[in-house]
Amino acid sequence: MSLLITCPRNLESKAEKEIFQILDEFGDNTKISKNHYSGIIEIEIRLELIEILEKIREKISNEPWELRYCARIIPIQKKCESNLEFIKQNVIELITCIKPNDSYKISLEKRDSKLIRNEIIANIANLLPNKVSLENPDWEILIQILGTETGISVMPEKSVLSVSKIKRLD
């Protein structure tokens, strides 16, 4: 499992240091993966995603000055090749947590890819008979396409941490 961290361009090293210190404090020996996308850092984690996200959310609320360079923290449960069939297969494996009465939304961000956004969303939506709720879903299907690699998660809504939003709400 991993986290995608967005940050201002050319401040990746400062964001890496910041998130590394925080995750080290939580007892997670992280592995930072470089990619060629400016403003994006990928970090492999060993602890549970939900647990890490809650600890980071609490850290932002209690000590907002600790996160100055990280903008968003996006959980990734599975990675696959950026191919519609591979993406669908991985989503099928992850959507088992969505109960029949639960609602969901699909959040998709793509960078450097020729895959068609509406085609991906339509194919994923066809996998679920559940109600879609863009405003207040129970679950969020997150799809992050970074060129030839795609990160996918099915998480409770509001699992993507927007550092500035959390700081404003507190």
Q: Are 140 and 165 within one domain?
A: no
> pLDDT band for position 165 (50/70/90)?
confident
- The enclosing domain of 108 has a CATH number of 3.30.2130.30
68 and 11, same domain (yes or no): yes
Is 63 in the same domain as 118? no
83 and 72 housed in the same domain: no
pLDDT at residue 150, rounded to an integer: 97
Q: Are residues 120 and 130 in the same domain?
A: yes
Q: Cα–Cα–Cα angle for 95, 101, 107, nearest 5°?
A: 45
Domain that holds residue 102: 78-156
Is the same domain home to 133 and 65?
no
In terms of C-beta density within 10 A (0-12 exposed, 13-18 middle, 19 or more buried), how is residue 143 classed?
buried
Residue 170 has pLDDT above 70, yes or no: no
Instruction: Say if CB 155 and CB 107 are below 8 A apart.
Output: no
Task: Clarify whether residues 57 and 85 are in a common domain.
Answer: no
Give yes or no: residues 56 and 109 share one domain.
no
pLDDT tens digits, 103-140: 999 999 999 999 999 999 999 999 999 999 999 999 99
Cα(141)–Cα(96) distance, rounded to whole angstroms?
A: 12
Cα gap 44→32, rounded to integer Å: 6
- Number of structural domains found in the chain: 2
- Report the DSSP pairing between strands 72-76 and 2-6: antiparallel
Q: Virtual CA dihedral for 154, 43, 40, 107, nearest 10 degrees?
A: 0
Is the pLDDT at 82 greater than 70? The verdict is: yes
Question: Are the C-beta atoms of residues 42 and 111 closer than 8 Å to each other?
Answer: no
72 and 135 inside one domain: no
**Are 61 and 97 found together in one domain?**
no
CATH code of 56's domain: 3.30.70
Residue with tokens 């669908």: 88
pLDDT, residue 30, reads 79
